[in-house]
Amino acid sequence: MIRAITRRIGGSALAQRALDGGLPEWFAPRPHGGEGWAAAAAQVAGEFADRSWLADLLPAFDPDPSDAAAERLRAAGGAGGLVVTGGQQPGLFGGPLYVLHKAVTLLEMADALALLTGRAVAPVFWAATDDADFVEASHVSVVRHGKLDTLVMPEAAPVGRSMARTPLGDLAESQAIETVFGESAPDGRAIDAVREAYMRGATVGSAYVTLLRAVLEPLGIAVLDASHSSVRAAGHATMVNALVRADEIVPALRARSKAISEAGFHAQVADVPNLSLVFETLDDGTRRRVPLRAAKDVAAAAPAERLGPNVLLRPIMERQILPTVTYIGGPGEIAYFAQVSAVADALGLVTPRISPRWSGTLVEPQIDSIRDRLHAVADDFADPHAMEGRVARGGVSVGVRSAVAGLRAELDDSCDRLRSDEQTSEALARSIGTMRAGVEHRLDRLERRYAAAIKQAGSQDLSDVATVRATLYPNGAPQERALSFIPFLARYGAAVVDATREQARSHVAGVIQGG
């Protein structure tokens, strides 16, 4: 059966320091233990006691809510209810595995906090369809026939247009989907969901939302479409505030970036001079950062549906419109939250809290079988060449290895006899050492040439190494950052979610206890 392995989440030095509990002045306080989280939950619930946040945002959720996600969302919309949020910009066919990992962490954190506090807590996945990064949204990788295959959608939109308005490219055709994921799978629901989402007439953003809802809502995770007009309306006051006080945000961010640099780190989000943190959607559908000189005029005149946040402002807006106990994020998000707090302080708003998502690797049975046969562990495949070299060296015949070992033994014996001879002076002994080193170097080269010849000729073991590496460390990157989660769901169905949830549950327990 497929299994999940927990990994320490990667990321920059800044993210790592934050994960270890450093830099507390740049982040919202991290609760420790049950009492700490219960107090944090009560504070957030109190802020939203008189707010109809769910009624305001309901149109941005599934228009036909009738599953586990809708039930949890309705419960959280009642008195004292809360949410745990996390999100991601669109990715082709739902994006890489860490999207699923993040969603499962949301679910486990919401379950844990509900049990801890006695409150209704709903997991909410924020689908950032207002994002305009087509390059990020247009590709994902799969492993087919033991090799890594990166799928790329053809360019289909002007630079700067949101994914909610960007039409799908050729991969919208059902035949392309069959080619990518195969015509049959043990669990066809995931492929059916892809086929229904990525159809003619859909946009990159709408296909992403449709697919995520099909995958996540049965688990109890609600998916919010961030580009929906109800989200813009709910966040409009925050956008106006950010425009009116844009001149105050600039020095606050500059000071924080300087502090980050002086502490030996790099700011995750670079400063862009003369621009605010608010995007305005223009008549042609493209977005632009509102210039500082025009900020107040735009604040006074632009309708809510035209304004949206940049990456540093989005978590603050989200915290203003949702009763979020904590945001679940990856290493990049953890790093830029060090700057988010500076923006929140400048606006006089609450700094959103962030907690790390679960990070890990899915190991399929056939991969475990190969790994066992090669007497290797998963991390042995992280180096793109070490395992191949090890297998190739192991493939050298017993006869060749014996002959080389014999040459080495004879070399050692002869050199020892020469050194011990009474005619061998100190200078001659040094010459013997030099000669011995040269011969050993040539023997090493001979062994490598045998291994290289075996590698060039190919073998089943080397082919298996390539398959494992493509699955666990595609192009040398962590699996979760490259491979699509759809093939795993198609092959193993609920077992993938179950394995991931088990590991994420332990991770969440550690987060709650302050680990």
DSSP assignment of 379-421, as one string? GGGSSTTHHHHHHHHHTS-HHHHHHHHHHHHHHHHHHHHHHHS
φ and ψ at 88, to 5 degrees?
Answer: -165, 145
**Residues 295-324 as b or e (16 or more Cβ within 10 Å = b):** bbebbeebebebbbbbbbbbbbbbbbbbbb
- Residue 407 has a pLDDT of 83
Residue 179 lies in a domain: no
- Residue 318 has a pLDDT of 98
Tens digit of pLDDT for each residue in 436-491?
Answer: 888 888 878 877 777 666 555 456 777 788 888 889 999 889 999 999 999 999 99
Looking at the fold, whether 337 and 398 belong to one and the same domain comes out as: no
> What confidence tier does 21 reach under pLDDT thresholds 50, 70, 90?
confident
Residue 413 lies in a domain: yes
Q: Order the strands of the 354-356 sheet from edge to edge.
A: 222-225, 121-127, 82-88, 324-329, 354-356
Residue 120 lies in a domain: yes
Residue 272 lies in a domain: no
Distance CA 134, CA 126 (A): 18
Write down the pTM of the prediction. Answer: 0.86
Looking at the fold, whether 121 and 43 belong to one and the same domain comes out as: yes
Nearest to 195 by CA among 216, 181, 209, 213: 181
Looking at the fold, whether 97 and 233 belong to one and the same domain comes out as: yes
DSSP summary character for residue 200: T
Tens digit of pLDDT for each residue in 368-423?
Answer: 998 888 778 888 888 767 766 666 555 556 677 777 778 888 888 888 889 898 88
Strand duo 82-88 + 121-127: pairing: parallel
φ and ψ at 91, to 5 degrees?
Answer: -135, 150
In this predicted structure, the answer to whether residue 258 has a pLDDT above a threshold of 90 is yes
Two tokens at 348? Answer: 């006089």
- Of the chain, the percentage scoring pLDDT greater than 90 comes to 63
> What confidence tier does 338 reach under pLDDT thresholds 50, 70, 90?
very high
Q: Provide the strand spans (E) within 226-353.
A: 275-281, 287-291, 307-309, 324-329
For 92, the domain range is: 3-133+223-240+319-359+479-512
> What confidence tier does 46 reach under pLDDT thresholds 50, 70, 90?
very high
* Count of domains observed in the chain: 2
In this predicted structure, the answer to whether residue 321 has a pLDDT above a threshold of 80 is yes
Residue 463 lies in a domain: yes
3-state DSSP: the chain helix, strand, coil percent, rounded to 5?
60, 15, 30
Rg of the chain over all Cα atoms, to the nearest angstrom: 28
Residue 454 lies in a domain: yes
Judged by DSSP in three states, 267 sits in: coil
Between 46-50, 457-461, 467-471, 493-497, the lowest mean confidence (pLDDT) is in 457-461
Distance CA 280, CA 179 (A): 39
Give me the mean pLDDT over the 493-503 stretch: 96
Neighbours of 348 (CB within 10 A): 9
Looking at the fold, whether 36 and 84 belong to one and the same domain comes out as: yes
Tens digit of pLDDT for each residue in 211-228?
Answer: 999 999 999 999 999 999
Q: Tokens 């210039």 identify what position? A: 291
Q: For the chain, what is the mean pLDDT? A: 89
Question: How many residues does the structure list for the chain?
Answer: 515
Looking at the fold, whether 326 and 463 belong to one and the same domain comes out as: no
Judged by DSSP in three states, 49 sits in: coil
In this predicted structure, the answer to whether residue 319 has a pLDDT above a threshold of 90 is yes
Residue 487 lies in a domain: yes
Looking at the fold, whether 418 and 465 belong to one and the same domain comes out as: yes
- Residue 174 has a pLDDT of 46
Q: CB of 276 within 8 A of CB of 220?
A: no
